Amino acid sequence: KALKLIVTGGAGYIGSVCTARLIEAGHEVTVVDDLSTGHGDAVHPRARFIEGDAAETAETLLGEGFDGVLHFAAKSLVGESMSDPAKYWHGNVLTSIRLLDAMRKHGTPRLVFSSTAATYGEPKESPIAETAPTDPTNTYGASKLAIDHAITSYARAHGLAAVSLRYFNVAGAYGSYGERHTTETHLIPLVFQAATGERPHISIFGEDYPTDDGTAVRDYIHVVDLADAHLLALKHAAEGEHRIYNLGNGTGFSVRQVIDACREATGLDIPAEVAPRRAGDPAVLVAASDKAREELGWKPERTDLIGIARDAWEFAQARRAAKS
């Protein structure tokens, strides 16, 4: 059944890919984005676009009657969350509470929320299951965890059908929709900058981790697989329940493996240099996503690291061509 949906943050990386997949599946999408980090031209041409704050806009818009909200809009820089926590408590937590209140007021039945592996903090088990303790090590993760708690209690008390999806390392692109952050902190786009000479080399943050090659291991998931989990979450969301699912490939790749995959995908000899560890980076972060597989019927299809790198590279190349 075609649903009438609001996508907050639909001009951002994951929100724009999700919007494209939702529209292609026949849903009717209104994107709300304040363009603080998103890009107007990343909004799908068949989406209705309203530029504005997620909460403020939802408060006026939800009265029109919507089947659900996919809430991507958020501040997501870990370092910034430590130096400017107010931006995260206001921008993430307060905004989301206001959105929940507006949904309650207007009887909007479904919510899919972008949560994160950062809610778990330093892992005590690997792979990480949803039952693992949540002990975030940064304000970004704490703000997302606080929202998850709020959603749980709203769902129980007010009958909301809610799903939180905890993303691990999202990568890749979907045609013209991809990662284009002004402040780039993510490994794969930075490796490409080293590939094109935009930066002299890629720094490998730490080579003395207790892993096979000494570099940190992460779970890289293709953004299209991630987006498709959102469509399944909408379908399986159940009234009065807040379900939480981890989304990852289930396979860890080291920083060196990622750089090698990027060398393979680009055909370029990308210079890399070992640098000190980045503060707060755990050695290994890998998802157990069995719950999403079992309950949502989700299965990541684009698990090959070189394939993920290739899609991201094609997008980065097209962006570069568009800019020059």
Q: Does 278 bind ligand UDP (CB under 6 A)?
A: yes
190 or 268, CB closer to ligand UDP?
A: 190
Please give the Cα distance from 87 to 138 (Å, whole number).
Answer: 13
49 or 245, CB closer to ligand UDP?
A: 245
Q: Which of 27, 180, 218, 256 binds ligand UDP (CB under 6 A)?
A: 218
Q: Are 311 and 172 in contact (CB under 8 A)?
A: yes
Mark the segment that binds ligand UDP (CB under 6 A) among 157-165, 200-208, 224-232, 261-269.
Answer: 200-208
Task: Tally Cβ neighbours within 10 Å of residue 201.
Answer: 14
Using alpha carbons, select from 291, 256, 289 the residue that is nearest to residue 273: 256
22 or 188, CB closer to ligand UDP?
A: 188
Q: Which of 160, 187, 223, 305 binds ligand UDP (CB under 6 A)?
A: 187
- Is 174 a catalytic site residue? no
131 or 183, CB closer to ligand UDP?
A: 183
At its nearest, how many Å lie between ligand UDP and the CB of residue 235? Answer: 28
User: Which of 140, 154, 209, 220 is labelled catalytic?
Assistant: 140
Task: Tally Cβ neighbours within 10 Å of residue 89.
Answer: 16
Q: Are 166 and 112 in contact (CB under 8 A)?
A: no
Amino acid present at 43: V
For 31, counting Cβ atoms within 10 Å of its Cβ (0-12 exposed, 13-18 middle, 19+ buried), the class is buried
Q: Which of residues 95-114 bind ligand UDP (CB under 6 A)?
A: none
Q: Does 186 bind ligand UDP (CB under 6 A)?
A: yes
Q: Which of residues 155-184 bind ligand UDP (CB under 6 A)?
A: 169
Please give the Cα distance from 67 to 5 (Å, whole number).
Answer: 6
Q: How big is the chain, counted in residues?
A: 324
Ramachandran class of 13: left when φ > 0, alpha when ψ lies in -120 to 50, beta otherwise: alpha
Cβ-proximal residue to ligand UDP, closest one: 216
At its nearest, how many Å lie between ligand UDP and the CB of residue 102? Answer: 30
At its nearest, how many Å lie between ligand UDP and the CB of residue 257? Answer: 11
At its nearest, how many Å lie between ligand UDP and the CB of residue 137? Answer: 11
Please give the Cα distance from 168 to 12 (Å, whole number).
Answer: 17
Please give the Cα distance from 87 to 72 (Å, whole number).
Answer: 16
Give residues in contact with ligand UDP (CB under 6 A). Answer: 169, 185-187, 190, 202-205, 216, 218, 255, 278, 281
Q: Which residues are catalytic?
A: 140
